[in-house]
C-alpha cells in the first residue's frame, strides 16, 4: 500500500521548517526587539531613576520622530536594496539627494507664493533630476562597462558638483516661504508623519515588485548568477538600468521629504547617507553579493539604525562613537552572512 505522503514532500516540509533558516529569516526583527530591550529596559535597570530613559523612549512623539528621521534613510535604503540585489552598489545616493533638494529649494525660493500647480511642478522636476542621474549610473555600468563601485563613485562627485554649481555654493532656507505641498510633505497624518507613510508605501510597493512581478524575478536572477540569467533570456542590461533608475527616483523622493522637514536645501546635504542606507540593507539580511534578501529586512534594518541613533542621542553618547558602532554593526552583519554561506 503506497503512502499518500511521498518522502520527497516530507523532506521538503522538513527543509521548510528547518530552525536555522527560520531563525535567520527572523533575525533582523529579533535584533530590533533585542536592541530596544537592551538599550532601554535592561540598561535602565542599572541606572538611577533620574537617568532612565524608558519613559522618554516609549512615547508617541518619540516613536514618531524615529520614523520621521529614518524616512529619508529608509527611502534611500529601499533603492539601495534593488541595486544590491542585482549585485551592484550605489555610492551616489547622498549626492543625488542633495542635488534634488537644491533644485526643489531654489525653485520654491524663486516663487514662494505660487499655487499648488507650481509646487507639483517643482516636485516633479526635483524627482526627475535625481531619476535621470540614477539612470546615468545604470548607463555607465551597462554601456561603459564600469564596475558599479567606480560608476557610482564618479556620480557621487558629479551630482555633488552639480548641486554646488546650481546654488553657487550657498544654502537655501525656506522658512516662511514653503508652499502648501511642502508643508504637507513635512506634516503628520494623524499620529503618523507623512514621510513615514511614504517610506512604508515604498516598502509595500517594492515587496510586490520584487516578489510578484517578472522584474523582481529578473533582479534576483541577475544577482544570483548574471551569466546564467543572460543565457536564460533575461534582458540584463535593461534591468540594470531600470534598477539604478528606481534607486535615483527614491533618492529624489527622499530629497522631497528631507527638504520639507528641514525647510532648506544645501549642496552639502546627504554626506554619509550612503553609509546608513547600506547599513540598513546589510543589517536587514540582504547579501552584498546579490541575489538574496529583500526590502522587508531593509525596513527592519532602517528601524534598528533609527532606534540606535535615537537612544544613543537621548543618552548623550558622542556622535563619533555612534559612527563607530554603525561600522561595527555592518562588519558583524557581513560576518554573519559569510558564516551562513559557509554552513
Q: What are the structural domain ranges in the chain? A: 56-342
Q: How many CB atoms lie within 10 A of CB 323?
A: 12
Phi, psi of 199 (to 5 degrees): -65, -50
Predicted model pTM: 0.85
Residue 142 and residue 214: Cα distance in Å, rounded? 20
Return per-residue pLDDT of the chain as tens, 343 residues. 444 434 444 334 334 445 555 445 556 666 666 666 666 666 666 666 656 677 677 777 778 888 888 888 999 999 999 999 999 999 999 999 999 999 988 888 877 666 677 778 888 999 999 999 999 999 999 999 999 999 999 999 999 999 999 988 888 887 665 556 667 776 777 778 888 899 999 999 999 999 999 999 999 999 999 999 999 999 999 999 999 999 999 999 999 999 888 888 899 998 889 988 998 998 888 988 888 889 998 998 888 888 888 887 877 777 788 778 777 877 877 777 666 655 5
**Cell numbers given for 186:** 513635512
Report whether CATH 1.10.3470 matches the domain 56-342.
yes
**Cell numbers given for 275:** 553609509
Phi, psi of 265 (to 5 degrees): -140, 125
Q: State residue 339's pLDDT score.
A: 66
CA dihedral 238, 239, 243, 246 (to 10 degrees): 70
Taking CB atoms within 8 Å and a gap of at least 24, the contacts of 153-158 are 153/91, 153/92, 155/91, 155/92, 155/95, 155/96, 156/91, 156/92, 156/94, 156/95, 156/274, 157/95, 158/92, 158/95, 158/133
Contact 219, 243 (CB under 8 A): yes
Measured CA distances, 260 to 174, 176, 268 (Å) = 9, 12, 16
Q: State residue 2's pLDDT score.
A: 43
Q: Who contacts 241 (Cβ-Cβ below 8 Å, separation ≥6)?
A: 135, 138, 139, 141, 142
Closest CA to 310 of 49, 31, 54: 54
The DSSP output letter for 265 is E
Q: State residue 227's pLDDT score.
A: 93
Q: How many CB atoms lie within 10 A of CB 31?
A: 19
Q: State residue 49's pLDDT score.
A: 65
Q: State residue 86's pLDDT score.
A: 95
Amino acid at each position: 500500500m503506497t503512502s499518500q505522503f511521498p518522502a520527497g514532500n516530507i523532506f521538503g516540509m522538513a527543509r521548510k521548517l528547518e530552525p536555522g533558516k527560520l531563525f535567520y529569516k527572523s533575525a533582523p526583527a529579533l535584533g530590533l526587539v533585542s536592541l530596544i530591550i537592551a538599550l532601554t529596559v535592561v540598561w535602565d535597570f542599572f541606572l538611577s531613576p533620574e537617568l532612565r530613559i524608558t519613559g522618554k523612549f516609549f512615547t508617541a512623539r518619540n516613536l514618531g520622530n524615529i520614523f520621521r528621521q529614518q524616512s529619508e534613510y529608509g527611502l534611500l535604503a529601499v533603492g539601495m536594496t534593488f541595486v544590491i540585489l542585482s549585485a551592484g552598489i550605489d555610492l551616489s545616493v547622498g549626492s543625488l539627494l542633495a542635488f534634488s533638494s537644491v533644485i526643489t529649494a531654489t525653485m520654491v525660493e524663486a516663487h514662494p507664493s505660487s499655487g499648488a500647480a507650481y509646487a507639483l511642478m517643482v516636485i516633479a522636476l526635483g524627482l526627475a533630476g535625481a531619476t535621470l542621474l540614477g539612470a546615468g549610473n545604470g548607463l555607465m555600468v551597462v554601456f561603459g562597462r564600469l564596475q558599479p563601485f567606480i560608476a557610482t563613485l564618479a556620480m557621487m562627485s558629479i551630482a555633488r558638483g552639480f548641486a554646488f554649481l546650481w546654488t553657487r555654493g550657498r544654502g537655501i532656507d525656506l522658512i516662511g516661504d514653503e508652499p502648501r505641498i511642502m508643508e504637507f510633505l513635512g506634516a503628520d497624518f494623524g499620529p503618523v508623519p507623512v514621510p513615514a507613510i511614504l517610506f512604508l508605501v515604498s516598502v509595500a510597493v517594492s515587496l510586490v515588485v520584487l516578489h510578484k512581478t517578472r522584474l523582481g524575478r529578473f533582479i534576483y536572477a541577475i544577482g544570483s548568477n548574471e551569466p546564467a540569467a543572460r543565457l536564460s533570456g533575461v534582458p540584463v542590461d535593461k534591468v540594470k538600468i531600470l534598477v539604478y533608475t528606481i534607486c535615483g527616483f527614491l533618492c529624489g523622493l527622499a530629497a522631497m521629504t528631507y527638504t520639507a522637514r528641514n525647510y532648506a536645501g544645501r549642496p552639502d546635504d546627504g554626506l554619509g547617507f550612503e553609509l546608513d542606507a547600506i547599513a540598513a540593507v546589510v543589517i536587514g539580511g540582504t547579501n552584498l553579493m546579490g541575489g538574496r534578501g529583500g526590502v522587508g529586512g531593509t525596513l527592519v534594518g532602517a528601524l534598528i539604525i533609527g532606534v540606535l541613533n535615537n537612544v544613543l542621542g537621548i543618552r548623550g553618547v558622542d556622535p563619533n562613537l555612534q559612527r563607530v558602532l554603525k561600522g561595527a554593526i555592518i562588519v558583524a552583519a557581513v560576518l554573519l552572512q559569510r558564516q551562513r554561506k559557509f554552513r
